Amino acid sequence: MLGKFHLFFGIAIVITFILTGQYMHHRYDHLKDMELMNRALFRAGHLYILLFGLINVALGAYFNPIKHHLLNKIQWLGSVSIIIASCLVIYAFFTELPTDDIERPLTRLSLYVVFFGVTIHGLISLVKNKIENPKN
Q: How many residues does the chain have?
A: 136
CA distance linking residue 114 with residue 104, whole number of Å: 16
pLDDT confidence tier of residue 135, bands split at 50, 70 and 90: confident
List the chain domain ranges.
2-132
Please report which confidence band the pLDDT of residue 136 belongs to, taking 50, 70 and 90 as the band edges: low
Nearest to 84 by CA among 120, 117, 54: 117
Nearest to 116 by CA among 70, 75, 87: 75
Q: How many CB atoms lie within 10 A of CB 41?
A: 21
pTM of this structure: 0.92
